[in-house]
Chain A
Amino acid sequence: GAVVSQHPSRVICKSGTSVKIECRSLDFQATTMFWYRQFPKQSLMLMATSNEGSKATYEQGVEKDKFLINHASLTLSTLTVTSAHPEDSSFYICSASRGGRDQPQHFGDGTRLSIL
């Protein structure tokens, strides 16, 4: 159990394009979802936390108008990178939790975003 599906796995697009990444919990209800960013050979950095039906909480330094997060249902969260530029190229990973302090996070397989 606790499977998280993330799509697409890879995106290559031109500068100025907006890109949407989906994160779905397949076999459980994800009250809370998280979005991370990972640069090559570096660690995962939390971008934002979202609770179903509420606005996302962004970490310091993350532009909320640049990275739009929607968590409209208990099984789906989306991250939209608006007007993407080459510096937005990175590996984006989502995770989902049933909510509550003692619940682990379950991770998707990540999306490799390349902006030309």
Chain B
Amino acid sequence: GIQVEQSPPDLILQEGANSTLRCNFSDSVNNLQWFHQNPWGQLINLFYIPSGTKQNGRLSATTVATERYSLLYISSSQTTDSGVYFCAAVSYSGGSNYKLTFGKGTLLTVNP
């Protein structure tokens, strides 16, 4: 199956700093999603991005499918950005079904 690797595993920032999180995947994928899991366990969709670049406020994501990686940029980080960031690769599993394979996540801590 598809392997998804994320880096770095842990990241500590001072409030206001910028950061880049990376996601590499082992095979061609049909799509890629980025999620933020807050300290209460809630998983929030950030981006659904098969290729190209998307922006949403202070966050943006770029996927280069041909080179099998995706990047998540966080600018002007805030303490509320703390949590675990997961990327998940979408692969089709027959018919109209598909599955998400998650990376191990990046634990981000933003200090005031």
Residues of A within 8 A of B (CB): 32, 34, 38, 42-46, 49, 51, 57, 91, 93, 99-102, 104-107, 109-110, 112
Contact = CB atoms under 8 A, between A and B. Distances in A.
Interface of B: 30-31, 33, 35, 40-45, 48, 86, 88, 92-93, 96-105
5 contacts: A38-B41, A49-B97, A109-B41, A109-B42, A112-B41
A91 to B, nearest CB: 6
A79 B45 CA distance: 23
Given A49-B99, A105-B33, 4 more contacts: A43-B103, A43-B105, A44-B102, A107-B43
Contacts of B43: 44, 93, 107, 110
B25 to A, nearest CB: 14
